[in-house]
Amino acid sequence: MSTSAEQQYDRIGEAFEGFKALTLARYAEVPGFLELVGDVRGRSV
């Protein structure tokens, strides 16, 4: 049985999946984020 917190987190995840399909995210936020991050080749977390 899921807790209320788990259900809320699931709803947030579902909303984020829909957000990723929006034009704003695809053509403004994602490229802007990647520009801020810079070249990550050869790096690890």
Q: How many residues are listed for the chain in this entry?
A: 45
Q: Exposed/middle/buried for 44, CB within 10 Å: 0-12, 13-18, 19+?
A: exposed
The per-residue pLDDT of the chain, averaged, comes to 87
> Is the pLDDT score of 43 beyond 60?
yes
- For the chain, the domains span 4-36
Tokens at 45, concatenated: 């977390």
Provide the 10 A C-beta neighbour count for residue 29. Answer: 13
The span from the CA of 8 to the CA of 10, in Å, is: 5
Query: For position 27, what pLDDT does the model report?
Result: 87
> Is the pLDDT score of 1 beyond 60?
no
Type of residue found at 24:
L
